[in-house]
A and B are shown apart, each in its own frame.
Chain A
Amino acid sequence: MTATATSARSDLSELGRSETALRTFLHGLPGVDQVGAEQRAAQLGTRSIKTTAKAQAIDLAIRMVDLTTLEGADTPGKVRALAAKALRPDPADPSCPHVGAVCVYPAMVPYVAEVLAGSGVHLASVATAFPSGQAPLEVKLADVRAAVAAGADEIDMVINRGAFLAGRYGEVYDEIVATKQACGDAHLKVILETGELATYDNVRRASWLGMLAGGDFIKTSTGKVPVAATLPVTLVMLEAVRDFRAATGRQVGVKPAGGIKTTKDAIKYLVMVNETVGADWLDPDWFRFGASSLLNDLLMQRTKLTTGVYAGPDYFTLD
């Protein structure tokens, strides 16, 4: 990786100008050793994190949660309740930190914004014809502007997988650039939908594409397809952000989303972050979990650590 990274440093900014240059660069990235990546991920998953380290990891994970609800059945009341939970996840324990952000559909942004105003909890919204991304560019950009205008300070966009898989990298690149412009000051998270990318090589290419085009975060999945975040995919993406920083000096965040339900899973991801990219990324500004049921499990484990008694789901909210 490092060889490619250093040689590319000077001309990275030029890549977007030509489809051919972009393709040459992305296909010049070294392939991912699938067996190696899976084995490495599995190995990191066996670390045992106990007592004070575990307490620290749980609080960090809570701060990294993007508390998400993306249902057709979302109502203003439901998202307000979720936002209230984001501010104070465990009402019984004031020492419990707030989550990183609340993530909702653009139509729900105004209701969440009322609750979160001035709290330090970010407000993320999915846009660009989430989850398929199959809409004309103008529609996608209007979607983004509407969400930002309503108060979202983070935008989760989906890349055009159809174009990516067909090899039209320039088109994907231009869309991300246009979306980034439409975001203004809002942070842009680029959803790769790795479950549809088929290979780790594609995940690596899409990660680089998203970062080259100006994404502030790269995110694994929408949570709307059967295969969501996995440890090996996140490992490939973490390696990409590490190499990207080495090549350009710009740090990009990573957000695995979908399928992370237990504290054990979350801690595996934190271990992997620490071992792959280091403590620089162990912060809600650079690593997030897109999840909904994860938070309750984190709270139950946190309660277990503070009270010494196993907690039950009856004592936590139904989301």
Chain B
Amino acid sequence: MSERVAVRKTYKLFIGGKFPRSESGRSYLVQDSNVSLASRKDARDAVVAARAAAKGWAGATAYNRGQILYRVAEMLEGRREQFVALGVPADEVDAAVDRWVWYAGWSDKLPQVYGGANPVAGPYFNLSAPEPTGVVAAVAPETPALLGLVSVIAPAIVTGNTVVVAASPAAPLAAVTLAEVLATSDLPGGVVNILTGRLSETVPTLAAHMDVNAIDLTGVADAELAAELEVRAAENLKRVLRPAPADHDWHTDPGLTRMTTLLETKTVWHPKGT
């Protein structure tokens, strides 16, 4: 009997819950694996998928979103070896799992902490409630490949946003493998979309796209590019998260800013009766 030939994996994009190749048909080599090189049109398709998923995901109960994020943590735990094999340190996988759980817990607590009842001089209840801003474009940091990516995705989706993430061009394997985790976690298709390839191709398109509501520039290391992206984002007043400092320690407590920046506040007046 002849020797068995191993099945090699092609790392593809993650758009609308599916794993398509780039529409351009291009790919590039990372760690001896073929990875799709996403084009401008893939970015466009990803935004369409994210927008289509936005209504359902924002309409899901906070409790349900929390459950799904927790499920992601469970799935990630089970695939630990796969990430270690890609070169992700074991303690970083642990930290990534913990981060999912941490954000999962916030799903039904953030509205209590960040929203609330406002005192007004009249017979009204005046309530402020945070709502998701919509479609968020995000750029994942190069290192730490997995923890950084999770730290960008989880705070955006826990509140009901949908995201299009540009994975770091140098570390896309962990991103595509994380997509496989997400695809098996009851997360509705389109809530998270992952593009691999050159940032210069996909991110300016996302920054200028009028149907994107916020942009997270965390992984943009080039200050000039970051400034240009902010200018493009200003066209439709996107909410912007500025790039993280190069020496940022991702293992520390992330705080609430990543979540609260990607929210809108809805204030309701309701007559109290006398």
Return the chain B residue nearest A309 by Cβ: B208
Pairwise interchain contact A310-B235, C-beta atoms closer than 8 A: no
Q: Does B126 contact A (CB under 8 A)?
A: no
Q: Does A313 contact B (CB under 8 A)?
A: yes
Q: Is B236 an interface residue (CB 8 A)?
A: yes
CA gap between A308 and B205 in the complex, in Å: 9
Question: Digit string of B132-145 for contact with A (CB within 8 Å is 1, else 0)?
Answer: 00000000000000
Most chain A C-beta atoms within 10 Å of own C-beta, residue among B208, B210, B211, B235:
B210
Bound CA–CA A195/B210 (angstroms): 37
A121 vs B116: C-alpha distance when bound (angstroms): 52
Is residue A311 contacting chain B, with contact meaning CB distance below 8 A?
Answer: yes
Give chain B residues whose Cβ lies under 8 Å from the Cβ of A162.
none
Interface string of B209-227 (1 = CB under 8 A from A): 1111000000000000000
CA distance A315 to B235 in the complex (A): 12
Q: Is the CB of B211 within 8 A of A312?
A: yes
Q: Give chain A nearest CB distance to B52 CB in angstroms.
A: 12
Bound-state Cα–Cα, A314 to B235, Å: 13
Kindly state whether residue B44 has any CB partner on chain A within 8 Å.
yes
Chain A residues with Cβ below 8 Å from B44 are 310
Which residues A217-265 have CB closer than 8 A to chain B? Answer: none
Q: Is the Cβ of A310 less than 8 Å from the Cβ of B236? A: no
The CA of A257 and the CA of B161, in the complex, are separated in Å by 36
Collect the chain A residues with CB atoms within 8 Å of residue B47's CB: 310
- Cβ contact of A314, chosen from B205, B208, B210, cutoff 8 A: B210
Q: In the complex, what residues of A have CB within 8 A of residue B235's CB?
A: 309
Q: Mark A293-319, 1 if CB is under 8 A from B, else 0.
A: 000000000000000111111110000
Cβ–Cβ < 8 Å partners of B210 in chain A: 309-312, 314-315
* Chain B, Cβ-Cβ closest to A303: B210
Interface members, chain A 263-281 (any B CB < 8 Å):
none
Q: Report B173-230 residues with CB < 8 Å from chain A CB.
A: 205, 208-212
Complex CA gap A309/B212 in Å reads 12
- Closest CB in chain B relative to A22 CB, distance in Å: 49
CA distance A308 to B40 in the complex (A): 12
Nearest to A313 among chain B residues (CB) is: B211
Q: Distance in Å from the Cβ of A126 to the closest Cβ of chain B?
A: 32
Give every chain B residue within 8 A of A312 (Cβ-Cβ). Answer: 209-212, 236
In the complex, what distance in Å separates the CA atom of A153 from the CA atom of B195?
51
CA distance A313 to B212 in the complex (A): 11
Question: Which residues 37-51 in B have Cβ within 8 Å of A in the complex?
Answer: 44, 47
Chain B residues 90-110 with CB under 8 Å of chain A are none
Distance from A302 Cβ to chain B, minimum over Cβ atoms (Å):
13
Which residue, of A309, A310, A311, A315, has the highest number of chain B Cβ atoms within 10 A? A310
Note all chain A residues with C-beta closer than 8 A to B236: 312, 314-315
Cross-chain contact B209 with A309 (CB below 8 angstroms): yes
B residues in contact with A315, CB < 8 Å = 210, 236
- A306 → chain B closest CB, angstroms: 13
Least CB separation from B40: chain A residue: A310
A315, B237: Cα distance in complex, Å: 13
Which residues of chain A have C-beta atoms less than 8 A from B208's C-beta? 308-310
Provide the bound-state CA to CA distance between A311 and B211, in Å.
Answer: 6
- State which residues 244-258 of B face A: CB under 8 Å: none
- A residues less than 8 Å from B212 (CB atoms): 312
CA–CA, A309 and B232, complex, Å:
10
A312 to B211, CA, bound (A): 4
The complex places the Cα of A314 from the Cα of B210 at a distance, in Å, of 8
Inter-chain CA distance A315–B236, complex, in Å, is 10
Question: Could you tell me the distance in whole angstroms from the C-beta of A239 to the nearest C-beta in chain B?
Answer: 33
Interface set of B (CB-CB < 8 Å, partner A):
44, 47, 205, 208-212, 235-236
The 10 tightest CB contacts between A and B, nearest first, are A312-B211, A312-B210, A309-B208, A310-B209, A311-B210, A310-B44, A315-B210, A310-B210, A309-B210, A310-B211
Cβ contacts A to B, 7 pairs, < 8 Å:
A309-B210, A310-B210, A310-B211, A311-B210, A312-B211, A313-B211, A315-B236
| Extra pairs beyond A312-B209, A314-B210 (14, CB < 8 Å) | A308-B208, A309-B208, A309-B210, A309-B235, A310-B44, A310-B47, A310-B205, A310-B208, A310-B210, A310-B211, A312-B236, A314-B236, A315-B210, A315-B236
